[in-house]
Amino acid sequence: MDPCTEKATSFAAPRGRREAERSLRRYWQDRRGWLVWLVGLVIVIWRTYVSYTQQPASGPDVLVEGMHEVRRVVDGDTLLLANNARVRLQGINAPESVKPDSPVEQWGPEASAFAKAFFERANYRVRLTFSEERQDRYDRYLAFVWHNETMLNEELVRAGLAYARLDYPYSSAMKRRLAAAQEEARQAKRGIWSKGK
């Protein structure tokens, strides 16, 4: 190869490479705003996904005694709190009104309406207390539900809209209260103790 041609080629190659680098740099500079926007969007989507998947779907890990806000009544003996905790009224069993694949039982809608009226009077703020067993096999919290000194569990039984379940593990004092309320409803032939509707 001619020394002059060789020298010209060696100078031409770096100049072409520099030109290519400049061209590539310009290409990315022109698209920098778009890339920043895209990266920002990906970060926002990722953070939203992570925060959503880390939220408990079934409520808090620990529910403490005290005041709580009620979101809605599920049925006569089950409610959903504002923090997504599901609460089952301890020591009672109300007729079913929303159980999947089951018919609505007699007095079930009345038990639900009674519970809703109770929460309306309490402005959907109630006090929960617990006994020894805090959750059932469905991860619902087992609680006694209070508005001032009135206990919903006891009032449902007294109105004849729920049975007292004295075989459940909870305090003897509460069992005596529920048994007395049930006997009162039975004597007065209220609700489930009447001949029918």
Give me the active site residues, please.
88, 96, 140
| List of residues 6+ apart from 131 with CB closer than 8 A | 90, 91, 142, 144, 169, 170, 171, 174
| List of residues 6+ apart from 115 with CB closer than 8 A | 73, 75, 76, 77, 79, 152, 156
Kindly list the distances between the CA atom of residue 67 and the CA atoms of 64, 81, 127, 141, 143, in Å, as whole numbers in the listed order: 9, 11, 4, 14, 12
Beta bridge partners of 150: 147
